């Protein structure tokens, strides 16, 4: 087999496909060979490696910004944000190690049960391009903290960024093949995904990306009865009630809709405002949005970068044009050139418009006006997706009541939808997937729970008696 080494300056465990089936086989086998030694490492060794990897990301900030900016067009501040969250993820993953300690349960009959968390084996992770550093690290950190090894399938849009992340981990001392990254040409993506999922050494799968592709991953995994963690598309609502702090709500709406050009799974896709405050909120939203400008970061330094490619910009522009043609008011933006789309505010968005239901994944703040709180909840839930949401109200009890009725895995009270905490369970409902990254919830995703039962003083007679063998039947006794 002809394997080409990574061109990132290190000896990263990277396989560049010459033949899809052969490369998938080799990547999974290398991870499987590394598993036994890694799974037996001490807690201290794993903690030291996680800390070293976090430091390596910070030290390589300039290199990461350079590579990611070229590949995905993100502004440097988005890459800085990625690095910060990735560090938190690595540091929090260390907390999982202590949670894997055995639990002993004594029984009245003298037995002792041991409940044991055990590494599952090889974990296959799919990382997308939109948050290339954060989500690559998230696909790796908890699995290796729990003693697994990882095959990371890099995104075709940012293979060099994902290769660099893994290269930095190995430069920081992570043993070779604990993480192996596989890259591929776009036309090979589906075939190599299927080959990796089907490989017998792969025991767990985590996928972050679109619902459409996530469904394929889940279907392929089901053929081998393999457990998946799926974090998929979103259409996050931000509800603004009539007693809200409108400046805070406007700031959360603008930053949530425009951060990384709206290319975030928990982006604020729908701003649902009660009629009583809608005019005031829109005025404040437009005023704040005027401060943002988008440009290709390789040409001009601005608050926002470009979209992933021209096709993405054209698709989002089409959603805007459709909305305006059906009665939406274009309050700001809408201009686009190449892959650069300026931040856009649409008012009076209604269900007959494509942008009402489709995930835009672009820098568009869509305002939907409603008459009542109940209608706000109904509109928020009127989507196949259920990842994140937010509610703004000065009355915390009222906001929590609304949050309880929202069909999302995450809800922020008086905060932006774009918010993460590595110690908390992150994931969605409905077509936004299932399973949870983050916090202790990751243990359920990346370990097997085993029951070991210690019997004391059992001899052959007692075993037969325990299982009711060798006894007279009731008929014999009578």
| Per-residue pLDDT reduced to its tens digit, 78-132 | 999 999 999 999 999 999 999 999 999 999 988 999 999 999 999 999 999 999 9
pLDDT above 90 coverage of the chain, percent: 88
- Tell me the average pLDDT across 325-347: 98
- Tell me the average pLDDT across 433-442: 95
289 and 345 Cβ atoms separated by less than 8 Å: yes
Residues carrying an active site annotation: 231, 265
The CA-to-CA distance between both ends of the chain, in Å, stands at 74
Per-residue pLDDT of 362-401, as tens digits, reads 999 999 999 999 999 999 999 999 999 999 999 999 999 9
Per-residue pLDDT of 408-425, as tens digits, reads 999 999 999 999 999 999
In this prediction, residue 472 has a pLDDT band, given cuts at 50, 70 and 90, of low
pLDDT above 70 coverage of the chain, percent: 94
Contacts 24+ apart (CB under 8 A), 222-229: 223/198, 224/197, 224/198, 224/200, 226/197, 226/202, 227/203, 227/445, 228/204, 228/434, 228/435, 229/204, 229/205, 229/427, 229/433, 229/434, 229/435, 229/436, 229/437, 229/445
Mean pLDDT of the chain: 94
Task: Please state the pTM of the whole predicted model.
Answer: 0.92
The domains found in the chain, sorted by start residue, are 14-232+432-452 (3.40.605.10), 236-413 (3.40.309.10)
In this prediction, residue 10 has a pLDDT band, given cuts at 50, 70 and 90, of very low
Three-state SS string over the chain comes to: CCCCCCCCCCCCCEECCCCHHHHHHHHHHHHHHHHHHHHCCCHHHHHHHHHHHHHHHHHCHHHHHHHHHHHHCCCHHHHHHHHHHHHHHHHHHCHHHHHCCCEEEECCCCCEEEEEEEECCEEEEECCCCCHHHHHHHHHHHHHHCCCEEEEECCCCCHHHHHHHHHHHHHCCCCCCCEEEECCCHHHHHHHHHHHHHCCCEEEEEEECCHHHHHHHHHHHHHCCCEEEEECCCCEEEEECCCCCHHHHHHHHHHHHHHHHHCCCCCEEEEEEEHHHHHHHHHHHHHHHCCCCECCCCCCCCCECCCCCHHHHHHHHHHHHHHHHCCCEEEECCCEECCEECCEEEECCCCCCHHHHCCCCCCEEEEEEECCHHHHHHHHCCCCEECEEEEECCCHHHHHHHHHCCCCCEEEECCCCCCCCCCCCECCEECCEECCECCCHHHHHHEEEEEEEECCCCCHHHHHHHCCCCCCCHHHHC
Pick 348 or 1 by higher pLDDT: 348
Least confident of 19-33, 229-243, 332-346: 19-33
131 Ramachandran zone, left/alpha/beta (phi>0; psi -120 to 50):
beta
- Tell me the average pLDDT across 235-254: 98
Per-residue pLDDT of 162-212, as tens digits, reads 999 999 999 999 999 999 999 988 999 999 999 999 999 999 999 999 999
Distance CA 414, CA 86 (A): 24
């Amino acid at each position: 087999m002809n394997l080409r080494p990574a061109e990132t300056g290190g000896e990263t465990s990277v396989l560049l496909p010459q033949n899809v089936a052969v490369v998938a086989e080799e990547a999974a086998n290398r991870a499987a060979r590394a598993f036994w030694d890694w799974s037996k490492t001490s807690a201290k060794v794993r903690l030291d490696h996680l800390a070293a990897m976090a430091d390596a990301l910070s030290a390589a900030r300039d290199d990461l910004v350079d590579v990611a900016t070229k590949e995905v067009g993100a502004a440097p501040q988005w890459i800085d944000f990625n690095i910060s969250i990735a560090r938190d993820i690595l540091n929090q993953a260390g907390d999982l190690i202590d949670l894997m300690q055995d639990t002993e349960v004594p029984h009245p009959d003298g037995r002792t049960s041991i409940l044991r968390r055990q590494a599952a084996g090889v974990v296959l992770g799919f990382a997308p391009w939109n948050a290339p550093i954060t989500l690559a690290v998230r696909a790796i950190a908890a699995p290796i903290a729990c003693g697994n090894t990882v095959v990371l399938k890099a995104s075709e849009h940012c293979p060099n960024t994902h290769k660099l992340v893994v290269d930095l981990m190995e430069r920081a001392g992570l043993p070779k093949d604990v993480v192996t990254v596989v890259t591929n040409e776009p036309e090979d993506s589906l075939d190599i995904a299927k080959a990796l999922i089907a490989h017998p050494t792969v025991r767990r799968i985590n996928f972050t990306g679109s619902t459409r592709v996530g469904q394929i991953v889940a279907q392929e995994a089901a053929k081998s009865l393999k457990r998946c963690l799926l974090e998929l598309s979103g259409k996050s609502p931000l509800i603004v009630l009539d007693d809200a702090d409108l400046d805070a709500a406007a700031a959360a709406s603008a930053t949530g809709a425009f951060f990384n050009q709206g290319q975030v799974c928990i982006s604020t896709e729908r701003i649902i405002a009660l009629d009583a405050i809608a005019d005031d909120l829109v005025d404040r939203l437009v005023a704040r949005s005027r401060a943002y400008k988008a440009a290709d970061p390789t040409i001009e330094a601005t608050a926002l970068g470009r979209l992933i490619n021209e096709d993405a910009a054209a698709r989002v522009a089409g959603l805007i044009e459709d909305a305006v043609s059906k009665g939406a008011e274009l309050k700001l933006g809408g201009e686009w050139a190449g892959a650069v789309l300026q931040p856009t505010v649409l008012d009076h968005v209604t269900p007959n418009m494509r942008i009402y239901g489709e995930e835009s994944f672009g820098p568009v703040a869509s305002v939907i006006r409603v008459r009542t709180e109940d209608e706000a909840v109904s509109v928020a839930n009127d989507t196949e997706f259920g990842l994140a949401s937010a509610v703004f109200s000065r009355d915390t009890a009222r906001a929590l009541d609304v949050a309880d009725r929202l069909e999302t895995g995450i809800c922020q009270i008086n905060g932006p939808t774009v918010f993460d905490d590595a110690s908390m369970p992150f994931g969605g409902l409905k077509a936004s997937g299932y399973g949870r990254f983050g916090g202790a919830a990751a243990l359920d995703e990346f370990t097997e729970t085993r029951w070991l039962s210690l019997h004391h003083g059992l001899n052959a007679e007692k075993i037969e008696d325990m299982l009711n063998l060798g006894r007279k039947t009731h008929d014999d006794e009578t």
